[in-house]
Amino acid sequence: MAKEQEMFAAAKKAIIDYDVVKAEEVAKEALASGVDPVAMIEKGFTAGIAEVGDRFDSGEAYLPELILAADAMKAGTAVCEAAFPKGTIKAKKKVVIGTVEGDIHDIGKSIVASFLAANGFEVHDIGRDASAEKFVETAHEVKADVVGASALLTTTMEQQKKIVEALKEAGLRDKVKIIVGGAPTSQEWAEQIGADAYAENAAEAVAKVKQLAGLQ
């Protein structure tokens, strides 16, 4: 148990230090010591990315650090996932994410996309100024579990509603969960347009998407 806790702490520190090489080294050392790879991801690397997310939200960390932490997380978890026994790896849940049509603000969306990827989701980022049709086409093409739509302007919020309606018209609404976010949006807005969830920040978005995808 002491060795496991040591490995968990080292994994967490590697993420907090934005150290890709160390994350891989710690993962390999842990596996060689007999530490469960799933536990390493959940109690080590995920704990680290959660703390970095908290620091970002409080202004103690910035976007470059967030991206580096996500890269370290991906490196460490990749080593652990490669050690999973055959047949035990579940298919990754798929998320389509983008900034709505008419809106070119994509920093927040990119942060969420990085966090989702670091937490094991298969993320399809369709970029900014993405039409409702693009959201629908991509969701259909990749068989998405969740669609995330970001709007940073009051003038583009209506596009989120259009995406919900477009997914309905395409016959995908009962197969895809929808989460919205962005400065002018709210839980009330999400409920008003028929979305399944709203997230205020990246950490909350990951938690909500996990819930929507049936992982929590």
Helix (H, G, I), strand (E, B) or coil at 2: helix
pLDDT tens-digit profile of 82-137?
Answer: 887 765 556 689 999 999 999 998 878 888 887 888 778 899 999 999 999 999 99
How many whole angstroms separate alpha carbon 206 and alpha carbon 114?
10
Q: What is the DSSP string of 112-144?
A: HHHHHHHTT-EEEE--SSB-HHHHHHHHHHHT-
Answer CATH for 2-82 from 1.10.1240.10, 3.20.20.150, 3.40.1010.10, 3.40.47.10: 1.10.1240.10
pLDDT tens-digit profile of 162-212?
Answer: 999 999 999 999 999 999 999 999 999 999 999 999 999 887 898 999 999
Q: Where are the domains of the chain?
A: 2-82, 94-212
How many whole angstroms separate alpha carbon 19 and alpha carbon 21?
6
Q: Examine domains 2-82 and 94-212 and report if their fold is the same.
A: no
Class of domain 94-212: alpha beta
